[in-house]
Amino acid sequence: MKKSMKAVLTASVAALCMFGIGMTANAYELSSEVQDVTPALREATTIGVWSHKNPAMAHAKNKDAILVMTFGTTFKDTRAKTIDAVKEAIQKAHPDIPVFEAYTSHIIIDRVKANEGIQKLTPEQAFDKLQAEGYNRIAVVSLDIIPGIEYSYKSIVTKMQMNRFKSISIATPLMYYQGTEDAPDQVVEFLNAVKVQLPKMGKTDATLLMAHGTPHPGNAYYSVIQDRIEEIGLDNVFVYSVEGRPNLEDVIPKLKAHGIKHVTLMPIMMVAGDHANNDMAGDEPDSHKSILMKEGISVDAYIHGLGENKEIRNIYVERSNEAISALD
């Protein structure tokens, strides 16, 4: 029988606690007939914010920290307006809990060090630092847009630390729930936040939202985004990706079918870095701008990362709230 998605509050929870496995914010409720709730079964049914509580450290005095994980960027201007701005918003919302940072891209870490003399930490190094400084309850906030490869890595590296801390959690990315059962539709929430930056458009104008794309099954979120765009009545707005599907070649026939003569290219990435400045809006013949211009379509580019959008920052603050709540 199909069960509703809700907080796990069944007799099976007691069995999980015996294994020292922490609760999550949401999961599929297991049938009361399930007697042997294994760690694997519990992990497989985890939905939403993941958390773990270490019974061996149950009596330790709480010392909380927030760890913001991001891919990172070598573009200083956009970093200040996006990643740093999100961190500042989270810190403002939680003035009594220090906010730390980790970059997942080793290449970006090396380049920032070489070019700016700034040492960014990997997630593993950040966890080492937090433990060395005595923090024992860690709320991780991922600045990913969808649950793809990057979010999977952040989740795995967080789970690998669970025996080092009293309590640890990781929030969901910007978009996670899609309105199924009793869950919110975070894709619509995302689009409502993005709507404020869309340009005014006539019948022959369109806006193309450039996503990153991924070989991960999470790439399907882009099709969901397009579905919700149409559902909420955003005319002539199309999603495409740099490294996934749909790509620009998929979208061009739609533009022609709608009689589009002018487009605004707009990244839906945390930062306006290399993809936005070069792949999307560069002057090279294989840039998206150049390809569209060859098709007879005039192009404007909106080169701003999502972190510049106050409504997007507010969503990440809410993700931090959820991660902190999961520590208790």
Q: Are residues 60 and 168 in the same domain?
A: yes
**Domain span including residue 14:** 5-47
Strands 26-28 vs 5-6: parallel, antiparallel or unpaired: antiparallel
What element of type H or E holds 204? none
User: Quick one: which of 155, 200, 194, 156 has its CA closest to 173?
Assistant: 155
List the catalytic residue out of 52, 106, 212, 258.
212
Q: Are residues 142 and 164 in the same domain?
A: yes
Q: Are residues 193 and 285 in the same domain?
A: yes
What integer is the mean pLDDT of 1-8?
36
The reported pTM is: 0.90
CATH of the domain at 250: 3.40.50.1400
**Token pair for residue 144?**
């990913």
Q: What count of Cα atoms within 13 Å lies in the side-chain half-sphere of residue 35?
A: 0
Q: Are residues 269 and 318 in the same domain?
A: no
pLDDT surpassing 70 at residue 310? yes
Q: Are residues 110 and 202 in the same domain?
A: no
Q: Confidence band (pLDDT; 50, 70, 90) for 118?
A: very high
pLDDT in tens, 218-255: 999 999 999 999 999 999 999 999 999 999 999 999 99
Q: Are residues 172 and 200 in the same domain?
A: no
Domain count, the chain: 3
Residue 140 · residue 158 · CB < 8 Å: yes
Q: Confidence band (pLDDT; 50, 70, 90) for 33?
A: confident
Query: Which of 25-29, 253-257, 264-268 has the lowest average pLDDT?
Result: 25-29
Residue 288 known to be catalytic: no
User: Any long-range contacts for 1-5 (C-beta under 8 Å, 24+ apart)?
Assistant: 1/31, 3/28, 3/29, 3/30, 3/31, 4/29, 4/181, 4/182, 5/29, 5/47, 5/180, 5/181, 5/182, 5/183
Q: Are residues 173 and 315 in the same domain?
A: yes
Q: Are residues 43 and 75 in the same domain?
A: no
